[in-house]
A and B are shown apart, each in its own frame.
Chain A
Amino acid sequence: MKIHKHLYIYSLILVIAFACREPFYPEIDRYENILVIDGLITDQEGPYTVKLTRSFAFDESFPAAEERAVVMIMDEDDGIYEFIEEQAGIYKSNLSFTGKIGTSYKLFVSTKDQESYESEWVTLSKVPEIDSITYEKQERPTSDPNQSVYGMEIKVNTHDDTNQTRYYRWEWVETWEIITPITSSFYPDEARCWRTAGSGVVSIGTSEHLTNDVIEDYPLYFVSTETNKLGIKYSTLVKQYSLSREAYSYWKSLQDITQNTGTLFDPTPAMVTGNISNTSNIENPVLGIFQASALKQERIFIDRAEIPKSLDIPSGYSSCSFYDTTDSVEIDYYTNHGFPLAEIYILAEAEHYIFSNSEMCFRCTLSGSKEKPEYWPEEK
């Protein structure tokens, strides 16, 4: 149900009308170091990953890995599948193990300090095909009442004729093309790249109050024209998982306290517990969730031509400067001051040097990959 979302919008309006919001950097002296278990198996071919990390302090950026743990999954027929630590904290299953729809699984973890954890039984449920991924031009308000931002809203459509799925979660991987302002002859293959980013927010949906299990035009996310994503060609791969009711409310709680905040009616945040518990000591908390779900995915492309010309899309290189010179004093100056040399060319018998303020400006591999994805359509 989207009642909360609506409330969010109401109070957003009130907040826009009167209020002001500013960044705030709190001093938090408490820190709790807790094991985080992030496990997912699907009906697609493995290997599957279970990530074991520790929670980290508010002013830090990366988690520490939980190494040397024993991780395994048991199925309802007592089959046991071990996970091997491939990198620090990343445990992978054997290729021979593939999740089966309708089978129940349970995750066991025991850490090097002798704490044991196990999940509840989780049934790998099926998920219907994605009917379509659509997109639509949209205008959104910003915190500045005189400004709005344009972009594309990406939506998903799906349905389950058997009315059994009901709860859905989506992830996506965005890929977009970037082209440097100049092509350097030193790096001729680094002018055209592709950047990739994963979904950074929880995206879930439900048809629980509908007669039929139908998800229609469900908004997944918004690609703003303030980024360079839509500048040339953009693609997204949407992955669809099914959720149990419990897993849905787990994600919903996380969404409520980490993403839908800032209204006049925020709920008091609290710990969100998943389906895993500490069996050596029930009092010791553990974070994370073990999920088993079938997976369906769908890819779409959006070309620059589909976006109104009137919309300005930044190239992502607006901060790049190039200095074209033939003067040896200048050349020495730029060289000695660390300006990377982008290009040398000869014009009218003069040797031109082009310096830039950043190597990124002519080498896209510094912010993306020059390997063209195999699904990327061939140019006409």
Chain B
Amino acid sequence: MKQLSLLIGLLFFLRLSAGQDQVISGMHEKQLFPRFVEEMEADLPLRFFYLTSWVDSIRIVQAAPGETLSSILEQSLNPHGLYFHQEGYCIFLSLKQSINPDLMQSFLVADSIKETETFITFEESSMAVVNSEAADRNRIIQIGSSGESGSASMAAINGYIRESETGEPIIGAVIFNEDQGVGVTTDVNGYYVLTLSRGRLLITFRSMGKNEEVRNVMLYGDGTLNIEMEEKINQLKGVVITADKYQNVTGMQIGLNKIDVSTIRQVPAAMGEADVLKAALLLPGVQTVGEGASGFNVRGGSTDQNLIILNGAPVFNTSHLFGFFSAFNPDVVKDFKLYKSGITADYGGRISSVFDISTRNGNRKKFSGQGGISPITGRLVLEGPLVKEKISFIAGIRTTYSDWILNRINDPSIRNSSAAFYDLNGIITYDINPNNNLDISAYYSNDRFRLNSDTSYHYVNANLVIGWKHIFSQKLFAHFKGIYSNYQYDISSQVQENQAFKMDYGIDQKQIKAGFTWFASPDHKVQFGLDGIRYELDPGSLNPYSNQSQVEPLKLESEHAIESALYISDEYNISSRLSVYGGLRYSYYAFLGPKTVTEYYENVPLDPVNIVDTSYYENGELVQSYHGPEFRINLRYKLSGSSSVKLSYNRMRQYLNMLSNTTAISPTDTWKLSDSHIRPQIGDQYTLGFYKDFRKQNIETSVELYYKNIIDIIEYKGGANLILNDAIEQDLVNADGRAYGAEFMVKRSSGKLNGWISYTYSRIQIRADSEYPVERINNGEWFPANHDKPHDVTLVGNYKFSRRFSISSNVTYSTGRPITYPVAKYNIRNMTMLHYTYRNEYRIPDYFRWDISVNLEGNLKSRKLAHSSWSFSVYNVTGRDNVYSIYFVSKDRSVNGYKLSIFSQPVFTITYNFKF
């Protein structure tokens, strides 16, 4: 029906000077009408508008080749009571009644607006004409003044794109004109500037999860066009809407994946809950070392090389329950963007990727809520206006209310244990006036695991972001952010009375960001800004945890540093085909006192025997600084309207590293600042991508090739001790890394069947070479990193049977990760030991998993208390026991090998979701 109303609307507004009648050279007699239309649209600059049901059985009547189009149409259609009308390149069919061109005339906007500064915007026209959105869509909107001739042939349209229901700015919406092959995206404020050749234009607005909007524009000169976009009705049903259409080809970005929450929701979840990180793992180039492992690897990067930010604030531990859940409430998340390459200059600090998660803003117009219940977790989100249209809030809570995992274990000590977590989100958005917008976003996550009520493990993430958007002019606006981010964990134990202890770790990051966007000219989008971070890190302290405890308090010296950066970038549309993004970020890092630094002899291993001296640095005194430029260059060349090639080069510097010598991130892994001995990691990435869209089929394809070079990766000596170690540098070695790969992806973003299939070939190798054997790994040769999984095939599909019923499924295959086997056994003190040398020489068996979920929506009545849905999912349908690790245990002079699988059986879950 929507199609029809759109059509009827279209019928009433278009009027151009009569298009010349085409002569059809081929012979189409007896051809089915839709087929004929397809051919015409392919061969001629024409578009037909009609309802398929009118014409699907009509066959073309054509007397001879060389007949005009209009005569063919007349002969073919009129006998069936159909009429056509041509406006320029548009041909409209109407049933039973021919179209009256004069009637359309009356819908035209009067030509009376003469002043250049007078713009017809969406809002104005909606007041002026009819208060109906359909009418707005169907009017010709005049931008600039018709008298404005003689100046340049190009003109710029700018404006804001907002969510019609909540008024929230829509970020990353695509605005494009297909004929000129020009498109842009909105920025963080929903603002866009699109430069086009003047004339009569169709401008299309697209955004994930929103109904597409099309505006007819008569572009005389520069002007504003604001748009409100409606949520796509079917988003309620959890249908896939993937990355922005056309962004694939026309966007500047390379190596970017954007996934919104409805896609995240459709991914079958192991634990009955949509999971941001698990969804990311289905993207090409994103891998994990195993199920239940927290963290992920992007294009061979290690887990600490991802900048994971929630509304701009880094989240240091992204998982609950040691990796079985991600720490993000899916009902609060709006979408995430994952930059695997082509990272823009406004981001910095991690060398592999940026994982930018945005939360939704609260509904500005009415109160609503949503939530879900599964056997393990429950969540609830409330939102609404505090001051209508001005201040809105959204608040979410998620918790696990069941110790079901532990209660299943028939062991008294474990039955007395408990695992609990919760997380809270709160966001307040205040639209002060059209030029100022303030938002405050807070996040808190808490995990606790208690064993037999005498040992417990506890960790907390806490973030606070205050953001202020200010518009200086339509061409210059700014975004300021104050960010506080904290992560801490503690372990306490009372197992042995005299050893009862509590160990604490904490990192604190305070950050200020100022970013400016300046639309310098229609072809230049300039961004610049600065970034300042202050780190305070408490690497560990140990304290007694009972009165009888004899634990001696111990506190490692805290670490202090600042990291600051300036950046500037320009996105330059050199021609409609060629665009360049050039960015420079200069980062400066200073490790500051108070600090006692151990000095070693130069060019020898950092061993206790090589210590020269220790020196003490006063509070605030510079201990060590590092700085350097980071270039970010992207280039896009459009081969045609539907295909392009892109190139990028990126340099990233990383001053904060996670110390982890385990395969998966361990809960006791700590973050460590670069210091006198630990140099920052520097990564260079070169990427080449080819993109091709098949728009009729809604299919996007891409191939991306990359090569990465990393210096000063941290590797670990055998037996490295990473906890409460005040001479950690003695356990580390500097290594280099290289990664390369190719990612192939075919994606269908809409339609009954949607999803994607991807194949990734990727390698990551590490080399630790030195003249000293102690600093060498694998004889100084390249060896595969723990997460080197060369082949990866992922299939994600969603089929919508009806508006209430859909099935999603994904299939993943990947090469088994590398593992180290013992190369010999030996006896010492009558025990058999294992001798390991070559790291990661073998591989665990390949990984394969198939998941299915079935989503059932409640009834579609518009008047009901709450909209509900059920989701049934099966994780690991085939029950394959994918190997997580292979390990060896030596006991009583015998050595046995074992393989460990995490989910060796299908996991069934049921989730009930509701929305009101």
Do these two chains interact? yes
On A, residues with C-beta under 8 Å from B are 1-4, 6-7, 9-11, 13-26, 28, 30-34, 36, 38, 40, 51, 53-58, 60, 63, 139, 141, 145-148, 171, 197-202, 207, 209-212, 214, 216-218, 249-250, 252-254, 256-259, 261-262, 264-273, 282-283, 285, 287-289
- By the criterion CB–CB under 8 Å, are B824 and A269 in contact? no
- In the complex, are the beta carbons of B886 and A14 less than 8 A apart? no
Counting chain A CB atoms within 10 Å of each CB, which of B830, B898, B900 scores highest?
B900
A26 contact set on B, CB distance < 8 A: 821, 842, 886, 897
- Taking Cβ atoms with an 8 Å cutoff, the residues of B that contact A are 292-293, 321-324, 405-406, 408-414, 417, 449, 451, 455, 457, 491, 493, 495-499, 501, 503, 542, 550-552, 554, 661-664, 666-668, 716-721, 723-724, 773-774, 777, 786, 820-831, 833-842, 881, 884-893, 895-904
B901 x A21 contact (CB < 8 A): yes
Q: Kindly list chain A residues whose C-beta atoms are within 8 Å of the C-beta of B895.
A: 58, 258
The 7 A-B residue pairs whose C-beta atoms are closest, nearest first, are A270-B718, A253-B719, A200-B892, A265-B666, A55-B824, A141-B411, A24-B899
Q: What is the minimal beta-carbon distance from B383 to any residue of chain A, in angstroms?
A: 35
| A contact residues around B777 at 8 Å (CB) | 270
Contacts of B834 in A (CB 8 A): 257-258, 269
CB distance from A88 to the nearest CB of B (A): 14
The CA of A16 and the CA of B408, in the complex, are separated in Å by: 10
Taking a contact as CB atoms under 8 Å apart, the answer to whether A19 and B902 are in contact is yes
Residues of chain A contacted by B884 (CB below 8 angstroms): 19, 264
Q: Report how far A58 CA is from B822 CA in the complex, Å.
A: 7
The answer to whether A267 and B662 have CB atoms under 8 Å apart is yes
Residues from chain A with a CB closer than 8 A to the CB of B887 are: 261-262, 266
Chain A contacts for B836, CB-based, 8 A:
257, 269-271
Let me know if B822 and A198 touch, CB within 8 A.
no
Q: Which residues of B contact A19 (CB under 8 A)?
A: 884, 900-904
A-B contact pairs, 29 of them (CB 8 A): A1-B542, A4-B723, A13-B406, A14-B321, A17-B405, A19-B884, A20-B904, A22-B898, A28-B822, A34-B826, A53-B826, A57-B824, A60-B825, A63-B826, A201-B890, A209-B551, A210-B550, A210-B551, A214-B498, A216-B496, A253-B718, A257-B718, A264-B884, A265-B666, A267-B720, A269-B834, A271-B835, A282-B773, A287-B833
**Residues of B close to A210: CB separation below 8 A:** 498-499, 550-552
Query: Is there contact, CB below 8 Å, between B408 and A17?
Result: yes
Residues of A within 8 A of B821 (CB): 26, 28, 30, 58
**CA A31 – CA B773 in complex, angstroms?**
20
Given contacts A20-B904, A34-B824, A287-B826, contact A6 B451 (CB under 8 A): yes
Asked if residues B552 and A288 are in contact (CB atoms below 8 Å), the reply is no
- CB A228 to nearest CB in B, in angstroms, measures 15
Q: Is B406 a contact of A17 with CB atoms below 8 Å?
A: yes
CA distance A256 to B836 in the complex (A): 13
Compute how far the CA of A93 lies from the CA of B447 in the bound complex, rounded to whole angstroms.
57
Nearest CB to that of B724 among chain A residues? A1
Are B890 and A3 in contact, CB atoms less than 8 angstroms apart?
no
- On whether A18 and B663 interact (CB within 8 A), knowing A26-B886, A262-B887, A283-B773, the answer reads no
C-alpha spacing A264/B660, complex, angstroms = 13
Q: Closest residue of chain A to B777, judged by CB?
A: A270
Chain A contacts of B552 at CB under 8 A? Answer: 209-211
Q: Which residues from A are CB-within-8-Å of B493?
A: 2, 6
Q: Are A256 and B826 closer than 8 Å at their CB atoms?
A: no
Q: What is the bound-complex CA distance between A77 and B551, given in angstroms?
A: 39
Question: Which residues does chain B contribute within 8 Å of A271, judged by CB atoms?
Answer: 718, 835-837
B510 to chain A, nearest CB (A): 29
- Give A198 to B499 CA distance when docked, in angstroms: 28
| Most chain B CB neighbours (cut-off 10 Å) among A17, A146, A259 | A17
Q: How many Å from the CB of B666 to the closest CB on chain A?
A: 4
Q: Which residues of B contact A264 (CB under 8 A)?
A: 292-293, 322-323, 664, 666, 884, 902
A197 to chain B, nearest CB (A): 8
CB distance from A174 to the nearest CB of B (A): 11
Rounded to whole angstroms, the CA-CA distance of A171 and B831 in the bound complex is: 11
Query: Are B719 and A252 interface neighbours, CB within 8 A?
Result: yes
A35 to B748, CA, bound (A): 61
A198 partner, pick from B406, B824, B830, beta carbons under 8 A? B830
B887 to chain A, nearest CB (A): 4
Contact B457 A63 (CB under 8 A): no
**Given A38-B829, A139-B412, A268-B663; A262-B898 close (CB under 8 Å):** yes
**Are A6 and B457 also in contact (CB < 8 A) when A19-B900, A201-B891 are?**
yes
B718 proximity list for chain A (CB < 8 A): 253, 257, 269-273
By a CB distance below 8 angstroms, the chain A residues around B417 are 13
CB distance from B539 to the nearest CB of A (A): 14
Q: Is the CB of B823 within 8 A of A21?
A: no
User: A26-B821, A202-B831 are known contacts. Are A261 and B888 too (CB-CB below 8 A)?
Assistant: yes
Q: Which residues of A contact B829 (CB under 8 A)?
A: 38, 40, 171
Q: Which of A31, A200, A285 has the most CB of B within 10 A?
A: A200
The docked-state distance in angstroms from the alpha carbon of A92 to that of B324 is 55
What is the bound-complex CA distance between A283 and B321, given in angstroms?
44
Contact of A30 among B495, B838, B893 (CB under 8 A): B838
A residues less than 8 Å from B542 (CB atoms) = 1, 209
Contact, CB under 8 Å: A200 / B406: no
Q: Shortest Cβ distance from A34 into chain B, in angstroms? A: 7
Q: State the Cβ distance, B768 to closest chain A Cβ, in Å.
A: 11
Q: In the complex, which residues of chain A have a beta carbon less than 8 angstroms from the beta carbon of B498? A: 210, 214, 216
Residue of B nearest to A210 (CB): B550
In the complex the two chains form, what is the Cα distance from A258 to B719 in whole Å?
12
Q: Give A167 to B613 CA distance when docked, in angstroms.
A: 27
A258 to B663 CA separation, bound complex (whole angstroms): 16
- Of B667, B724, B826, the residue contacting A10 (CB under 8 A) is B667
Q: By the criterion CB–CB under 8 Å, are A31 and B410 in contact?
A: no
A141 B825 Cβ-Cβ under 8 A: no
Would you call B842 and A259 a contact (CB within 8 A)? Answer: no
A31 x B667 contact (CB < 8 A):
no
Specify which chain A residues have a CB less than 8 angstroms from the CB of B501 in the assembled complex: 1, 209
Question: Do B662 and A211 have beta carbons less than 8 Å apart?
Answer: no
Which A residues are in CB contact (< 8 Å) with B901? 19-22
Partner of B668, one of A7, A212, A252, A282: A7
**Nearest A residue (CB) for B828:** A38
A113 vs B535: C-alpha distance in the bound complex, in angstroms?
56
Q: Could you say which of B322, B723, B827 contacts A14, with CB atoms under 8 Å apart?
A: B322
- A10 adjacent to B322 (CB under 8 Å): yes
- Measured between alpha carbons, how far is A25 from B886 in the docked complex, in Å? 10
Are A28's CB and B881's CB within 8 A?
no
Extra 4 A-B pairs, beta carbons < 8 Å, given A36-B828, A58-B824: A2-B495, A258-B888, A262-B898, A270-B839
Contact of A200 with B719 in the complex, beta carbons under 8 Å: no
For A208, the closest partner residue in chain B by CB is: B552
- Beyond A16-B409, A200-B831, A271-B835, whether A211 also contacts B899 by CB under 8 A is no
Give the chain B neighbours of A148 by CB distance below 8 A. Answer: 410-411
Residues of A within 8 A of B457 (CB): 6-7, 10
Given known A-B contacts A24-B886, A30-B823, A18 and B903 have beta carbons under 8 A apart: yes
Across the interface, which residues of B come within 8 angstroms of A269, CB to CB? 718, 820, 822, 834, 836
Please, which residues of chain B bring their CB within 8 A of the CB of A13? 405-406, 409, 414, 417, 451
Most chain B beta-carbon neighbours within 10 Å: one of A4, A212, A264, A267? A264
Alpha-carbon separation in the docked complex, A56 to B833 (Å) = 10
Is there contact, CB below 8 Å, between B719 and A272? yes
Question: Which of chain B's residues has its CB closest to A141's CB?
Answer: B411
Could you tell me the distance between the alpha carbons of A367 and B716 in the complex, rounded to whole angstroms? Answer: 46
With a CB–CB cut-off of 8 A, which chain B residues contact A57?
824-825
Nearest CB of chain B from residue A375's CB, rounded to whole Å? 21
Which single residue of chain B is at the shortest CB-CB distance from A17?
Answer: B405
B411 and A258 within 8 A (CB): no
Is B828 in contact with A266, judged by CB distance below 8 angstroms?
A: no
Per the bound structure, the CA–CA distance linking A56 and B835 in Å amounts to 10
List chain A residues, Cβ under 8 A from B664: 264-265
| Chain B residues within 8 Å of A15, by CB | 900, 902
Q: Are A211 and B889 in contact (CB under 8 A)?
A: no
